[in-house]
């Protein structure tokens, strides 16, 4: 059985993961609107991945006899100046998700919920991968700058994800 504090924190994380999915879907829509189909596809897949994270936690809460409580999602941002701005926001968002996961790990340890602590280790590893992936894209975009050929090449490459 989940302790109340852990259950509440897991519910907050479910809602954060759903907001992440919603945010990346908005980013995908933005890229579609400026004809960067590869970036749009990458973000759509990112949205699906974040949704799967929410469901993973959703299922875990039920498996532990807890109750899932979904809350209203904030509207995501819909406009950016350019590609680098979107990925800078993505990196900031992933860093916030990492901080949230780390807080959950600390809480589960403090509450001596060893099962939750163990469950969350997958998310810790996943966030390392998420931040590294987005950081790499940000650095490549900084190198490319406003070079149209470079942007089109990266768009095509990310569309293969």
Q: What is the pTM of this model?
A: 0.95
User: What is d(CA 28, CA 78) in angstroms, rounded to the nearest whole number?
Assistant: 10
Distance, in Å, from the CA atom of 43 to the CA atom of 127, rounded to the nearest integer, reads: 16
- Find out whether 84 and 134 touch, Cβ atoms under 8 Å: no
Question: Could you tell me the maximum CA-CA distance found in the chain, to the nearest angstrom?
Answer: 55
* Per-residue model confidence (pLDDT) at position 1: 85
Beta-carbon-side half-sphere exposure of residue 73 (alpha carbons within 13 Å):
15
Structural domains of the chain, ranges and CATH numbers in brackets? 4-158 (1.20.1260.10)
Contact 57, 10 (CB under 8 A): yes
Per-residue pLDDT of the chain (161 residues; tens, 9 = 90+): 899 999 999 999 999 999 999 999 999 999 999 999 999 999 999 999 999 999 999 999 999 999 999 999 999 999 999 999 999 999 999 999 999 999 999 999 999 999 999 999 999 999 999 999 999 999 999 999 999 999 999 999 999 98
């Amino acid at each position: 059985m989940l302790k109340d504090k852990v259950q509440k924190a897991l519910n907050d994380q479910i809602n954060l993961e759903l907001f992440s999915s919603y945010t990346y879907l908005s980013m995908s829509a933005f890229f579609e609107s400026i004809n960067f189909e590869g970036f749009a596809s990458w973000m759509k897949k990112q949205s699906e991945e974040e949704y799967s994270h929410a469901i993973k936690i959703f299922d875990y809460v039920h498996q532990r006899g807890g109750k899932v409580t979904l809350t209203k999602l904030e509207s995501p941002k819909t406009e950016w100046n350019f590609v680098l701005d979107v990925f800078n926001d993505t990196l900031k968002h992933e860093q916030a998700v990492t901080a949230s996961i780390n807080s959950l790990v600390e809480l589960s340890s403090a509450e001596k919920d060893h099962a939750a602590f163990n469950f969350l280790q997958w998310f810790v590893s996943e966030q390392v991968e998420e931040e590294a992936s987005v950081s790499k894209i940000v650095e490549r975009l900084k190198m490319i700058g406003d070079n149209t050929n470079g942007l089109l090449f990266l768009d095509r490459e990310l569309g293969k994800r």
